[in-house]
Structure 1
Amino acid sequence: MMGQRVSLTRLAHEAITPALREGGKAVDATVGNGHDLAFLAAGVGAAGKVWGFDVQEQALTEARHRLPRELASRVTLLHAGHEQLGAHVDGPLDAVMFNLGYLPGGDHAVTTSAGTTMVALEAATSRLRSGGRMTVLAYTGHPGGDAESTAVEAWCKRLSANYRWQLLNPTPPTESTPRLYLVERV
């Protein structure tokens, strides 16, 4: 619809849905307030497993409260940065979601950064199964956010032929708008 703002979070969920399956494995690399975590936990079903990473205890606490009881047993929350993904998660993974930047309602001085994000992206893609998908929602409106978003796009462009990627923004992003990337292992 003209004039209606498209939710990039909703687009990320739609892009990940085809990769989710009963008994699958997924990662929420940046738990935040737990919305992607709950989405992934529902998508992997009762026999599935989801790992959630965040450096802020506040985010993990919020996610625990938001997570319905029937989904909680599928989730392992880790008080660690997403760059620790490789040390805690085995593949093959069906889905990985990144929502970069800072915790809404939290300390805006605590943000993701290009350095740790690149380590996490490498670990995540190396664990994706064939047909597995990863979304990266990169925000530019915080200190370092533009550099992080630029680094994510440059990283996507260097991916091997085993992966395909695309920018999912419905309209070309401006300097200050978030960017949503989809990576799929072929």
Structure 2
Amino acid sequence: MVERSHDFLKKVLHPQAICIDATLGNGKDAQYFLAQKVKKVYAFEIQEDVIEKTEKAISNPRLFVYHKGHEHMDIIHEPVDAILFNFGYCPHGNPEITTLPDTSLEAVQKGIQLLREKGRMALVFYAHKQANQEQKAIENYVSTLTSCDVCKVQMMNHDAPYLIEIEKK
């Protein structure tokens, strides 16, 4: 689903694009945005050791990393073209440190407000201890959005991560 999320977001990535990697982790999504030659990538991460490791791997003046949860993304004060979330825990990290239903829902709500017209948001959901509550809360919210088109992409024949694609009208 990571590749699908990148494909979905690619349409809005251009040299002046402002992007948010809402769950930095190992930096794969931030690297993807930067490789598309976007203007700026804001990233959020709560684990200091993960930030240090990722910032060493990605040294780029267009990357701005915040040691804060994604629910604080309203510190950004400019319209955003693309936002990417990976809900769960950091790969190769502590699986006990996960995204949480309340803060994830708050982050998605704030992200919708930051998106410019025709801006896109991709939500990738992975299994973790609070995944069902998190998924239900976010799906209930995004299914009521009238300012956006919302699409769910999910494997039907086995359990796997799934994707929700959102485009602001």
Asked if Structure 1 and Structure 2 have the same fold, meaning a TM-score greater than 0.5 normalized by the shorter chain, the answer is: yes
Partner of 1:3: none
2:22 to 9, 22, 29: 29
SS of structure 2 residue aligned to 1:19: coil
Distance in structure 2 (CA, Å) of the matches to 1:173 and 1:74:
40
1:34 partner letter? G
State whether structure 2 residue 116 is matched by structure 1 residue 150: no
Matched, 1:110 2:93: no
For the structure 1 residues 173 and 44, does the alpha-carbon distance in structure 2 shift closer, same or farther, using more than 3 Å as the test?
Answer: farther
> In structure 2, what is the equivalent of residue 128 of structure 1?
115
Question: Pairwise mapping of residues 6-155 of structure 1 onto structure 2 (< 5 A)?
Answer: 8-45=1-38, 48-67=39-58, 69=59, 72-86=60-74, 88-139=75-126, 141-155=127-141
Which residue identity lines up with residue 127 of structure 1 in the other structure?
Answer: L
Displacement after TM superposition at 1:44 (Å): 4.4
Unaligned runs of 5+ in 1: 1-7
Identity %: 28
Question: How does the TM-score come out when normalised to structure 1?
Answer: 0.86
The question of whether the paired residues in 2 share the 8 Å contact of 1:52 and 1:76 is answered with yes
Tell me the distance in 2 between the aligned counterparts of 1:82 and 1:13. Answer: 19
When the two structures are aligned, how many residues end up with a matched partner? 169
Amino acid of the residue matched to residue 23 of structure 1?
Answer: Q
Pair 135,9 (structure 1): closer, same or farther in 2 beyond 3 Å: same
Q: Does 1:172 align with 2:156?
A: yes
In structure 2, what is the Cα distance between the partners aligned to 1:134 and 1:93?
10
Compared CA separation, residues 178 and 65, structure 1 to 2 (3 A):
same
Which AA in structure 2 matches 1:61? E
Name the Cα RMSD after superposition. 1.4
Gap runs ≥5 in structure 2 = none
What one-letter code is carried by the residue in structure 2 that aligns with 1:54?
Answer: E
TM-score by length of 2: 0.94
Aligned-residue offset at 1:173: 7.0
Q: For 2:109 and 2:37, locate their aligned partners in 1 and report how far apart those are by CA, in whole Å.
A: 23
How far apart are residue 63 of structure 1 and its match?
Answer: 1.9
CA deviations 1:84-130 (Å, max 9, x no partner) are: 101x2123100000001111111111110110011101111101111
Q: Report the Cα offset of residue 164 of structure 1.
A: 0.5
